[in-house]
Amino acid sequence: MAAIQLGQAALRELDTCVHCGLCLPACPTYRELGQEPDSPRGRIYLARALFEGRLDPRGPALEHLDLCLGCLACETACPSGVHYGVILEDVRAATEAVRPRSVLVRWLRHLLLRWLLPSPGRLALAARLLRIGRALRLDALAPRHLRELGRAAPPVPPRPSRALLPAELPPPAPAAPLRVGLLAGCVQDVLLGETNLSTARVLGLYGCTVVNPPGQVCCGALAAHAGDRETARELARRNIEAFEGVDYVVVNAAGCGAHMKKYGHLLADDPEWAVRAEAFSRRVRDFSELLAALAAEGRGPELPGVAAGDGARPAVAYQDACHLAHGQGIRTQPRALLGQVCEVRNLADEACCGSAGFYNLVQPEMATAARDRKVEQIRATGARTVVTGNAGCLLQLRAGVRAAGLDVEVVHIADYLARRYDELGAAARPAGAGGGAQVAGAAARRE
Ligand code: SF4
Ligand code: SF4
């Protein structure tokens, strides 16, 4: 039986696991199915057996790995610090060539991962076709879970957000210079571009010049998670090139940010790119991560309503996106930002909402079960608004609250902050107000 090849990093993680099982209760698929092969520890056993040639990669082992959401809740729970995501990504890349896939599925994967997502022009064309399809009500022909997701999405905007943003957008008031590149993303750019425009506007209120580099492309997370590492590496190189010269690369999608922070790892064996990739990853910041750091230094908008004591603070439930909470350890920053302008309520736990990249498209049953559990937690908070930091979670939760008949809006944190700052009449701080010394200083010393 042919063994699969795994990289040194994945083998180190396999060796780090002591098989204690403390990650099992955190795993949504184990909680749902109650079987060891559908737990993190079980999947680690399977990965080792595949590597040692004791299991056939064309057998049922891969089904258990495919059921994994990649949510990384097991990483948070693991006392030994096993980076399970490294193992999962390596196994998916190593098994891709031997997977029993039909010619049609292989062709569709190729079309999506190598032809459509890497090309902003083709994505814009696809968005136009989607608009036409919706106008003709062709979505009624799709399976139920796809219809639910499609109806949760807002109308397709006529133009991608990258076409609406200038190459450089200076802040509304002069401030200590901080140039940040904004990742527009792939699907988000054409379907949820309003969030990118809100992100740019809010960054301006925190004294940032927002740079929209013309050469930027999809971050490559979807390709990496689907086992197409070569496409992911090529997209990483193009983004590293495109974002040269900015102090930070700001990302408002949790999965993209977590992936871009690992470009250094992705290109570690490429002598031409390894150093640049590592330096790039150190400059990547989630939107809320950078804003919270700037706010801690006294930057950010003046909020007269809140400073005077805003008696009518709306209640908002905050949903942790997995790749923010587990992937990047970002939990307090979004809550601190929201806490300036509303009352923040927590959900019962950090379990995945079931979106997980393409997961809700290819594993609809498990994804719907995760989604519905999350919707019940939302209902329990009593809040009429849910805020999250990831486009995938946003659509998944919107579909969920609609299916449950809840009168709850689901909003990206950038859109929510932009709206609240407008409502409160927030003004940009003039030059000299606030600090900014540390962040701006760090930026000045950039690699
Ligand atoms: S991944 Fe961590 S928590 Fe899970 S079994 Fe291995 S060592 Fe234990
Ligand atoms: S990534 Fe999520 S679904 Fe996969 S094994 Fe870990 S906890 Fe379970």
Stretch among 34-48, 125-139, 193-207 having the lowest mean pLDDT? 125-139
Q: In angstroms, rounded to a whole number, what is the distance separating the alpha carbons of residues 5 and 319?
A: 37
Q: In angstroms, rounded to a whole number, what is the distance separating the alpha carbons of residues 310 and 303?
A: 10
Give φ, ψ of 410 to 5 degrees.
-120, 125
Q: Which of 13, 22, 23, 29 to mutate to test the pocket of ligand 2 (most atoms within 8 A of CB)?
A: 29
Ligand 1 centroid from CA 73, angstroms: 11
Return the residue matching tokens 């990831």. Answer: 390
Decide which of 444 and 74 is more confident.
74
**Using 50, 70 and 90 to split pLDDT, how confident is the model at 127?**
confident
**Mean pLDDT, rounded, for 86-108:** 88
Q: In what order do the strands lie in the sheet with 343-346?
A: 343-346, 315-318, 385-388, 409-412
Q: In what order do the strands lie in the sheet with 284-286?
A: 168-169, 209-211, 179-182, 248-251, 284-286
Has residue 139 got a pLDDT over 80? no
Query: How many residues in total does the chain contain?
Result: 447
**CB of residue 73 inside a 6 A radius of ligand 2:** yes
Share of the chain above pLDDT 90, in %: 70
User: What does the buried/exposed string (b/e) look like for 302-340 if buried means 16 or more CB atoms within 10 Å of the residue's CB?
Assistant: bbebbeeebeebeebbbbbbbbbbbbbebbebbbebbeb
By the 8 A CB rule, do 274 and 207 touch?
Answer: no
Ligand 1 centroid from CA 81, angstroms: 8
By the 8 A CB rule, do 87 and 47 touch?
Answer: yes
pTM for this predicted structure: 0.91
Ligand 1 centroid from CA 62, angstroms: 20
Residue 306: its pLDDT value, please?
Answer: 60
In terms of Cβ atoms closer than 10 Å to its own Cβ (0-12, 13-18, 19+), residue 146 is middle
Residue 314: strand, helix, or coil: coil
Closest among 322, 394, 389 to 352, alpha carbons compared: 322
Ligand 2 centroid from CA 352, angstroms: 9
**Mean pLDDT, rounded, for 318-340:** 97
**CB of residue 88 inside a 6 A radius of ligand 1:** no
Stretch among 170-174, 224-228, 361-365 having the lowest mean pLDDT? 170-174
